[in-house]
Structure 1
Amino acid sequence: MSGVSPDLIFSLQPAGLEAAALDVFRYQYRENDIYRAYTDALRINPDHVKSILEIPYLPIQFFKTHKVVCGSFEPELLFESSGTTQTINSKHYVKDAEIYTRSFMTAFEQFYGPVNDYVIVGLLPSYLERQHSSLVRMVQVMIELSGKPESGFYLYEHDKLYQELQALEARGQKVLLIGVTFGLLDFAEKYTLNLKNTIVMETGGMKGRREEWTRDEVHQYLKERLGVDVVHAEYGMTELLSQAYSKGNGLFMTPPWMKVILRDENDPFDLKAGKGAGVINVIDLANIYSCAFIATDDIGKIHTDGRFEVLGRLDNSALRGCSLMVS
């Protein structure tokens, strides 16, 4: 194992990310056969890598075609991406389920406070009907840790959800309503509410279930119908064990062990540390036992304050079930 332990990762301060990332890179070069082969193919000498801009970022498509793991182990969890019958799904083999729990719980509570302050309501139709969804696993654990009897999943029981949200609002209970985008839109189409104690958080996901809306159109509609001032969002994917969160306007913040940097669309090895637009690369140090350095197919923009937004997807990339069109 590298000198970076889970305890160290989840107690990182932002200033410590680069040193920890370089340590994880050297560990994964030694232990991850696919990542080492990719690094060698680029003729990169790991001893010469001195910054996060010199680390090779593994194209996310490798999770569709290879088992991206460090060493050999029996996974405690298998996460698999959503897709159609015509697509090959990504698979993420998770050695230690507790690392995933620590990652999403530490990040959520950093941005939103203790999970047991909330009733957690998951509106995840289609995701609940699938096996191996990382999103379902995350929400399921949050429901359990909330300790609230009203917490739970909803498939298509919109009437029941409407009544429950009204009752929770009436007594001033804080609620997290986390839902796949088309599920939230379907619910909001049927009901209007005035949610003053509820965070509405969309996780992306149109999946061809509705006509494509821009992010601004989705958020404006949900704000009008559900009576919230802002719509929150979560940015995560099967290949990662960490999430970024937006508290409005599609601007995401990362926990200290996760970082987004950008690459040039025409030159994937031209990386940018500061603000600007490009294609998103993600450092996720919670991915200790797979690959912590992922080149995604999402186009993004980093703002001066360090927050980032997702602007769309590369034209030549495979469609991802959780993608959400934005303006």
Structure 2
Amino acid sequence: MDIDKSFEQKLIQASDNEFEKLALQVFKYQYKNNAIYHQYISSLGVNVNKINRIESIPFLPIQFFKNHTIKTGIWKEETIFESSGTTGQITSKHHVKTVDFYKLNALQIFKSFFGDPSNYHIMALLPSYLERGNSSLVQMVKFLIEASRSGISGFYLNEYDKLIQDIKTAKHSGRPILLIGVTFALLDLADRYQINLKNHIVMETGGMKGRRKELTRMEVHEQLKKAFKVSTVYSEYGMTELLSQAYSSGNGLYKPAGTMKIILRDMYDPFSISNSIRQGGVNIIDLVNLYSCSFIETQDIGRMNGEFFEIVGRYDNSELRGCNLMF
């Protein structure tokens, strides 16, 4: 299979009808050219010649991104995205061949959900991510801010007063606001200010980062809806190990991008994967992970609801499985 710009574009524009065919092509390419993934599949004793549907593809445990460099092919990365973590904790690292491929995909996904970014003032309250400097979320939001072509759009570290002033200015412009923030920062803002964002978008990206008491998503959304006078709170689902995103327009129900597919695995048998499972471990196919690994076994527990999915928890002791097979 030839890997070039036209194939990358085909992945970004994948339709439902093409998805399985493209995923199988990517799987064969990655099995052949990704040493870590190849070794993992070999350790399972899988006969790759018999894999002719995506449910049969082995999914790489997400922990491998903490202990190995996951690359398909030989190339020098333009950047490395790194996950957040507490002191002393091993973080995940995602080596990215070209930032432009990530950018094209992120903008395409955003447009498919919300329209052109230039229709919005985009204000980002992502303090913990900005402090790290190598966050995939910050990079994605940076693309959106640039594409908004608004002099008001921007990042805010702990500048709550300036953010509120800019929101007031933006509200007089006639262009809607998209306020995206890490959960604890949005709650901090809600504690300090009551501001009416009716007819605008408030979007949380999850995460208390040890800054506040853990709350359920429903509790978080109720507080934010009350503080900002909105009828719904949007959410973004992404992670360091993925280059695609899913979005929710409320109630914690996420719709994956066209480049993603969610397949659940049995809670007690990680190798039992089926579209008939309604609640289980979340496996994700991300076609845009072409140069790392597109088949990720996450630590999340999810539930399917038609074309939507929701995250209902995480596995305990999830570090114990997967990478042990390589040690």
Aligned match of 2:313: 312
- Contact in 2 for aligned 1:127/1:133 (Cα 8 Å): yes
TM-superposed deviation, 1:10: 1.4
Tell me the CA shift for residue 279 of structure 1: 0.6
1:299 to 293, 298, 301: 301
Match 2:71 to one of 55, 69, 90: 69
Question: Once the 2 structures are TM-superposed, how far is the Cα of residue 211 of structure 1 from its aligned partner?
Answer: 0.5
Per the normalisation by structure 2, the TM-score is: 0.95
**1:282–1:276 distance in 2 versus 1, CA, 3 Å:** same
Shift, 1:257, TM fit: 1.5
Query: Is the partner of 1:256 in helix, strand or coil?
Result: coil
Matches of 1:273 and 1:20, distance apart in 2:
18
Q: Equivalent pairs: percent with the same residue?
A: 51
Q: Confirm or deny: 8 A CA contact 2:198 2:228 kept in the other structure.
A: no
* Deviation by residue 1:287-326 (Cα, 9 ceiling, x = unmatched): 00000000000000001x21000001111136xxxxxxxx
1:115 match: 117
Query: Quick one: structure 1 residues 275 and 224, their matched pair in 2 at CA, closer, same or farther if it must change by over 3 Å?
Result: farther
For residues 228-243 of structure 1, the aligned pairs below 5 Å read 228-243=230-245
CA deviation profile, 1:135-167 (whole Å, cap 9, x unmatched) = 111111111111100010001111111121122
Partner residue of 2:183 out of 157, 181, 184: 181
Post-superposition Cα deviations, 1:150-204, rounded to whole Å, max 9, x if no partner, equal 0100011111111211222233321111100001000011111111232111001
C-alpha distance in 1, partners of 2:194/2:79?
A: 38
The answer to whether the Cα contact below 8 Å between 2:41 and 2:58 also exists between their aligned partners in 1 is yes
Secondary structure in 1 matching 2:220: helix
Contact 2:265 2:277 in 1 (8 A): no
> Which of the residues 159, 162, 167 maps onto 1:160?
162
Q: Look up the equivalent residue of 2:219 and give its one-letter code.
A: E
Opposite residue 9 of structure 1, the aligned amino acid is L
Point out 4+ residue stretches in structure 1 off by more than 6 angstroms. Answer: none
| In 1: Cα distance, 2:29 partner to 2:209 partner | 37
Structure-to-structure mapping, 1:1-327, within 5 angstroms: 2=2, 5-274=7-276, 276-303=278-305, 305-317=306-318
Range with bigger deviation, 166-175 or 77-86? 166-175
Instruction: Report the secondary structure of 2:267's partner residue.
Output: coil
Deviations 1:53-84 (A, max 9, x none): 10000000000000000122110111000001
Q: Which moved more, 1:96-105 or 1:279-288?
A: 96-105
Q: Return the TM-score normalized by structure 1.
A: 0.95
Q: Secondary structure at the match of 2:296?
A: strand
Please give the alpha-carbon distance, in whole angstroms, between the structure 1 residues aligned to 2:204 and 2:166.
Answer: 19
SS at match of 1:127: helix
CA contact (8 A) 2:266 2:277 kept: no
Q: CA deviation at 1:129?
A: 0.8
CA contact (8 A) 1:253 1:308 kept: yes
Q: Secondary structure at the match of 1:298?
A: strand
The structure richer in helix per residue is: 2
Residues 275/252 of structure 1: CA separation in 2 closer, same or farther (3 Å cut): farther
The 8 Å contact of residues 180 and 205 in structure 1, kept in 2 or not, is answered as yes
C-alpha RMSD over aligned residues: 1.2
Distance of 1:164 and 1:274 partners within structure 2: 48
Partner letter of residue 100 of structure 1?
Answer: Y
* C-alpha contact (below 8 Å) 1:169/1:197 kept by paired residues: no
Counterpart Cα distance in 1 of 2:258 and 2:272: 24
- Mapped to 1, the partners of 2:214 and 2:183 lie a distance apart of 11
Note the C-alpha offset of 1:275.
5.5
Q: Give the gaps of 5 or more residues in structure 1.
A: 319-327
Contact 1:172 1:197 in 2 (8 A): no
User: 1:105, 1:111 → 2: CA distance?
Assistant: 10
CA contact (8 A) 1:79 1:94 kept: yes
Structure 2 partner of 1:324:
none
The answer as to whether partners of 2:107 and 2:143 remain within 8 angstroms in 1 is no
**Cα distance between partner residues in 2 of 1:167 and 1:145:** 19
Task: Work out whether residues 80 and 90 of structure 1, in 8 Å CA contact, stay in contact via their aligned partners in 2.
Answer: yes
Amino acid at match of 1:287: N
